[in-house]
Structure 1
Amino acid sequence: MKKKILSLLVTMGLAASLVPVSVFADGTEVWDGSIAESFAGGKGTKDDPYQIATGSQLAYFAKRVNAEEYGEKYADTYFELTEDIDLGGKEWTPVGETVADLIMGGHEYFVFSGNFDGNGYTIKNLTIGTETSPYSGDVCGLFGATSGTIEDVVLENVSINYVGGNHSSGYGFRMGGALVGYSMGDIVNCTVIGLDMKAGSDGSYVALNSIGGLVGIQDGGTTVSHSRVSGKIEESTKKGNVGGFVGTLAKGSSAKYCGADVSVEVTGNGRGIAVGGFVGIGNGVTTDETLIENCYATGNITGAEYAGGFVGNISGLNISNCYAKGDVSNSFVGASFMGTDAASNNYYGTVKNCYATGLVSDISSSAYAFAMQDTMNRSTIQNCYYNIQNTAKNTESAASLTIDDMKTDSFLNVLNGSSNVWTKRNNDTPACGAEPADYSDVYEVLGNIPADLSIYTDESVANLYSAVEALRGYRDLAQQSDVDKMTNDINDAVEALVYKSADYTELDKVEEAAKALNKDDYEDFSEVEKALAAIDRTKNITEQADVDAMVKAINDAVANLVKKAPASSQPDSVSSSDASSDTSSSASDSSSSDSKATDSKSDSSSKAASNASNTNPSTGVAGGAFALALLSGAAVVMAKKKK
């Protein structure tokens, strides 16, 4: 327990500049490529999910979903991670490895339809394909295709080399992301740190082509929220759509409180590729349901056909309260926020309360300060701003400001209006809510955790561990109240730590021995009784010295006891000369006559009887020496008479 808490605290310290996400403990097992024969436990229900604790068990999970006869979809089934997992760079096959036939109207596909909870644990060193042998499936990611929910998963150090795959119809598909290639389910609180993704082609025609840092395509009217990704993407075909966070956000789907710190570099001789720092392209008519809210992108974009610091081709998206900070360069058309809406006939969108600070340069055709718009039917741009240092042309309804202007309270108020979704940052432009939460109070409280937890009860330490464990995973500014609650819970758990009891083993021994003594055998037993009465069994482990003092007090009191003098069991001593004189006189008298002897005997008996009643008060023995002397004389007379 103590080791786990210390491991968590150390890792949090290392990740303080990011978020407290990775909690790798010493001794995490590195996957050897083997496949387990079962899960770690659980029944697959909501209250008792299947448990996955090792790389081999995670591989078993993938094997089940990808099994013959279209696999186990695990609808309405629950899974959870119970430990960090290090995949060790071994080749990984996505969970739900093909979905192309579903898209083409068939039924030969593998999709995970259950619920997967990472519990904030980290899956490290995920590797899919290599530069010499890139992965060639139609979907790519930890999960290939999903229609269930994925939450609280953390991926760290992800390496992907991917070229897409062909369907039996002859069409090719390339849908890839670190977490999911093609998602038809909700994604919540997921994080990717250290993505290195290279997307190419095997030369075949690709009908559906979308690459994203977290997810390739988000579809099905679903939502990805409170998630983020950092790293880089290199695309070498110049075809399809690429987004730092999501490649394509399809009709009716949404992204809320998400962020991408991903650089995208595009090379090749293709045409038509749309690249955005956050999203490549939308895919639907302009509806209120296709939303991107409170999201950000900070990576640079290089070499695309249509490039935008936030979105490549808006195509029906409704974007609000978002910002882009990356520069856009070496593209055919480029803008600091939106690459174009012209390529999406009748699929226009809206951009409201957004800003961009990046610069646009080296654009071969048309460069725009904020967004390129169709001159016939423009997308709506409202209350949006760009960096005044941009020399690109401004043909849209966005305003220019200096970066310093964007750091002011007045700019914050302009963005907020009456919504108050934006917050101020020290010497920085406003935050939209998707940025990492403030953990400063958490770190302060963690500093109050005692260095030595071994002196506290197991129950109270377990409660503290549960409070600290809640820090796993990622929380953003919009979830600050969750972080504040974690702070309070940890603080309460620290204050509620209970010391273990002191060791009373030796005291029990000396107490038992002292109580076994008979107080009547001693001159004065009061000091022992006083020491026994002073025993206090409420002492804890930090007060062991007090208990040891109780032991010493009892031992000292017993050692100083004085036993009473023992009572005598023998009569007082008598001198041998007295006894001899009495005995001789009696013998002389008896020689005169038998009658005198008889009288002497009678007289001696009378004296014996008389002395028998005379009790010595000091000895308690009747007659004492006198009775012994008389009885000795009588014995002599009787002996002579027998002769």
Structure 2
Amino acid sequence: MKIKRWIGVLLCMLLCVGMLPTMAFAANEADAWDGTADTSWYTGSASEYDINSAEALAGVSQLAADGNDFSGITLNLTTDVDLSGHDWTPIKTFRGTFNGGGHSVLNMRVALEDGENGFFGYLNKAVVKDINIEQADVEMLSSNSYFNQGILAGWANNAKVTGCSTTGSITADASGSDVPSVGGFIGSCKGNTSIVSCWSTADVTTTSTEDAVMLGGLVGQWENAANGAEIIDSYFGGTVTAAEATTSTAGILGAGLSFNGEVVLISGCVSYGQLNVPAGAEGNAVHIAALDEYGMAENCMWPDDGKAGVVRLVVDWSIGQAYPDPDFDETQCGQVIADFTDQAVIEKLNAGAQTTGLWRLGKNGYPVFSTQTDMIRADYEAVEAARGKVPADLSLFTDESVNALNSALGSVDENLSIDEQEQVNAMAKAIEDAIAALEYKGADYQAVDAAIEKANALNKDEYKDFSDVEVAIAAVVRDKNITEQTAVNEMAKAIEDAIAALEYKDADYSKVDEAIAKADALNPDDYTNFSTVEAAVNTVVRGKDITEQDKVDDMALAIENAIANLEKKPATGTPSDTDTSSPQTGDNSNIALWIAVMLAAGAALTGTVLYSRKRKYSR
């Protein structure tokens, strides 16, 4: 690191304060600044005044421009003020106490060509606490001499600054300036100035490629420290961009140079901002500070991005140049942090902090102050707990209710702050409510319906007992959900099992039995061939059910047909041994008797044949 330095000019800087233009304003009390200044509140007889409007705040600048440095006086800012729409004139020289009360000065714009530039121009033995300069736009257009430029103050000498912050941007064109100092918080500090628990996330930029600048995220330079000079428990998280290659660029302190051997102490500070330097000048970018042999840093932290944390400068005052000490061990000043989200980082910072519980992990993944509730992530435990209750298998639920749950889950904003905790709690409740409203899909009754359809297709009169099927159907309970699918499947199975267990009624064998009885009543010896009847009887199969009634009826018909087709053996006779005489020709009575017998026999035979045929064709 090579830093251009003109020692004579530095010494002159100790005595010079830039002059600020003065303006006259009319009074008007309002938080939004109307461009006027109200000085009516200042009586000169009190030691403490409340600043309750933007115009009253502008009145402080007006009074300072008129030569009032407020020595021994305390000013209390009691409201936030918005300075947008008008250029702010820095409070020229301030020696009193300014208590911001945690309030903010918004949208301050300062655009000057030289001198001390910022909300305050010059803090001389002043006390400033608890004020936030937000969304500032500070610009040094050009310079023909030297200047100190910062958002809170251009220059601080033996001042005490605690609990303050800056955001926005500060841009400097350092061309033509001998020793420019630019900081996102304070441009240049001197003596025993103390900066405690302060921070900046400002964008700090120099535009001149010709002149070196002492450029810092918090403080541009520290000159001639005195006992008590310190930057304690503070951080930078913005961007520092240098246009000139030899510019000393750092996150906390651009350059710490002392001509009197006193030490500026940097302790418990964190820098995780982005440092941008010209190509080839990467060695000039340092996260914490570039310090001469009298500077001291301890317990600091910086990111593991390849840039140095602390550089010890070896200064050759005869030529006004400084070079880094190659033997300096920066680990004695703190440590490189690979992961700032590690809770151990916050614990270590708090262990060494002057203020108990000062540090919290910000929602940006880096340390912030516990007072920065808008920067600290809200408590998402309730959201995580709600997410943990989401069923693993959402396919069990209706599309509509699942869509509502997914909408609640998708609406979670993961980056809300403590100030927005109620919104986070509402997100958790929305998820819980959507889970409670999940509606199971209905169970699948297709198998039940198929079983019932099968049962309805049956003729229950064909079965011995159909009641089990009817009972199983009556036991079906509709409107079961998908989690009760097993029970629904059991209903279907019960019907199927009852159907499977049905027994058909027995076939009617009465005709078979009648035919067999008829066959049994016959004398087989009376017929020429009785085997057909016997065969028909033997083919009878018992145990048939009603579905085979036709077969049983066919068995009866076969027997009947066999009987009907029987042929009797012809009748045969032998003459009586006692009657061997032949009828006499003249015996008319015997002849008549034989004729009658013959006619009767013929009639009987004819009737038998006709009856058999009638029985055969009538079945």
Q: TM-score, normalised by structure 1?
A: 0.46
